[in-house]
Amino acid sequence: MTIPTRSVHCLAPRRRRERLFAAALLFPCFAFVAVFAFYPIIHSLYLSLYRIILGLPGLSQPFVYLENYRQLWGDAVARHALANTFLFVAVSTTCEMLLGLAMALVINRSFRGRGLIRAAVLIPWAIPTVVASQMWRFINNDHYGLLNFLLYGSDLASYQAWLADPTFAMAAVVVADIWKTSAFAALIILAGLQTIPDELYEAARLDGATAWQRFTRITLPLIKPALLIALLFRTMDAFRVFDLVFVMTQGGPADATNVLQFYGYKKMFAEGLLGYGATISVLVFLIILALSLVYVRFLGREIMEERP
């Protein structure tokens, strides 16, 4: 048996070398993140403490401490946007996880034509969001859209104006999002599924476990890390939804699809209220942070921790 060539009192320099090596590996990552992410984030936090109206430079840009936050607290439109965003995130993320799980389970099995089905599943996701949004706007059109035709055929009198109704407009945006990004969850879950060895299923089958038992006792626990990553990233992205709303509804009708990031965009870019727009972004960030902490705490502490 080969004895390790490094003796005990060489552990300290090795540890240091290891840490240096780790630092070198991590450096490019954090260099990018520091310049293009941390600095803008800190800049936004800084901006949120000022009142800035670009259209009126004569008013100067005073430091207003937490005034923007207080204004945001009382802003009814922001409250509505927050509710809309929560609704969007809850419905779309749940559906996407379920649908993604179903898709991953299906394309994990081998059957004839699997490659084509995989391609079919990934197509929605490969289409640029702006194109998909235009497409869904077209499909939802109350006169020459596909949806009405499928539901009501030639009965023109029953055609609904989906995007003109506050409730259905939100539903349309949610459906478009589910259609578009279920593949994302499916891919991540698929990667997780494929690390599960077949032998486990075989052994369970020999032991007499039903399909459902095999699913809940073997599959689910083993793909928990993948599920968590998919859930985490999907939630974060859903909370920051923007492109869909921008193209499909522009926040309407009657602000029914006004989500927080769109509201922030309007404030920052359209109205020139940089400070207030930054405040909204900070709010979105804090909400996402809180949600992520909840996820990690209840669902996957082991992901963040050291391996023993």
Partner 1 sequence: MKARLRRLLFLLSVALIAAFSILPFLWFIATSLKTQMEITAIPPTLLPSFSLDFYRSALDDYHLLHYLKNSVIVAGAATAGTIGISLFAGYALARIPLRHKPLIMGSLLLVAMFPQISIAGPVWQILAALGWLNSYQGLILPYITLSLPLGVWIMTGFFRELPQELEDAARVDGCGHLQTLFRIIIPLAAPGVFTAAILVFIYAWNEFFFALLIMTQRPYQTLPVGIALFQGQYTIPWGEIAAASTIATIPLVLLVLLFQRRIVRGLSAGAIKG
Partner 2 sequence: MRRRRRRGRREAPMDRISSRYPEGFRPGRTAAVFLVLLVLCLSFAGCGQEAKKANGQILRFYTWKPNQPEVWEEIVRIFEAEHPGVKVWREIGPHSSTSFHDLLTQKLKNRSKYLDVFLMDVVWTAEFAAAGWALALDDRFPRTEQSRYFANVIQANTYGGKIYGVPLYIDTGMLYYRKDLLAKHRLTPPKTWPELVRQAGIITAGEPDIYGFSAQFKQYEGLICNMMEFILANRGRLIHPETGKAALADQPAREAVQFVRNQIIGKTAPAGILAYEEPESLALFVQGKAVFHRNWPYAWEAANDPSRSRVAGKVGIAPLPAFPGGASRAALGGWQLGISRYSENKELAWKFIAFLSSPRIQKLLALKASLAPTRKDIYDDRDILAVCPQFREMKRAFVSAAPRPVSPLYPALSNVMQRYFSRALSGAAADINRESLAVAAEMEQLLTLAP
Q: Which residues bind partner 2 (CB under 8 A)?
A: 1-2, 53-59, 77, 141-144, 156, 161-166, 169, 249-256, 266, 269-273
Is residue 28 involved in binding partner 1 (CB under 8 A)? yes
Q: Which of residues 196-235 bind partner 1 (CB under 8 A)?
A: 197, 199, 211, 225-226, 229, 232-233
Size of the site for partner 1 (CB under 8 A): 100
Q: Which of residues 6-25 bind partner 1 (CB under 8 A)?
A: 18-19, 21-22, 25
- Measured at the CA of 223, the angle between CA 26 and CA 212, to 5 degrees, comes to 180
Identified binder of partner 1 from the candidate list 156, 203, 220, 254, rule CB under 8 A: 156
Nearest approach in angstroms of CB 193 to partner 2 is 19
* Token duo for residue 190: 């698929």
Write each residue from 251 to 280 as x if it is in contact with partner 1 (CB under 8 A), else as -, in one continuous string. ---------xx--xx--xx----x--xx-x
Is residue 134 involved in binding partner 1 (CB under 8 A)? yes
Q: Are 230 and 224 in contact (CB under 8 A)?
A: no
Identified binder of partner 1 from the candidate list 50, 88, 136, 276, rule CB under 8 A: 136
Nearest approach in angstroms of CB 251 to partner 2 is 6
Nearer to partner 2, 24 or 157 (CB): 157
Identified binder of partner 1 from the candidate list 67, 86, 95, 118, rule CB under 8 A: 118
Identified binder of partner 1 from the candidate list 76, 270, 298, 307, rule CB under 8 A: 307
Identified binder of partner 1 from the candidate list 126, 203, 220, 254, rule CB under 8 A: 126
Is residue 131 involved in binding partner 1 (CB under 8 A)? yes
Nearer to partner 1, 139 or 166 (CB): 139
Residues pairing with 50 in the sheet:
63
Return the number of other C-beta atoms located less than 10 Å from residue 165's C-beta: 16
Return the number of other C-beta atoms located less than 10 Å from residue 75's C-beta: 17
306's CB contacts (< 8 A; 6+ apart) are none
Position 301, amino acid: R
Angstrom distance (rounded) from CA 39 to CA 52: 19
* Token duo for residue 52: 């800035």
SS3 33: helix
Angstrom distance (rounded) from CA 162 to CA 36: 40
Is residue 194 involved in binding partner 1 (CB under 8 A)? yes
Helix spans in the chain (H): 11-33, 39-47, 67-73, 76-108, 114-126, 129-139, 146-152, 166-193, 198-206, 211-214, 220-222, 224-239, 243-248, 260-265, 274-299, 301-304
Question: Binding partner of residue 278 among partner 2, partner 1, none, CB under 5 to 8 Å per kind?
Answer: partner 1
Nearer to partner 1, 166 or 242 (CB): 242
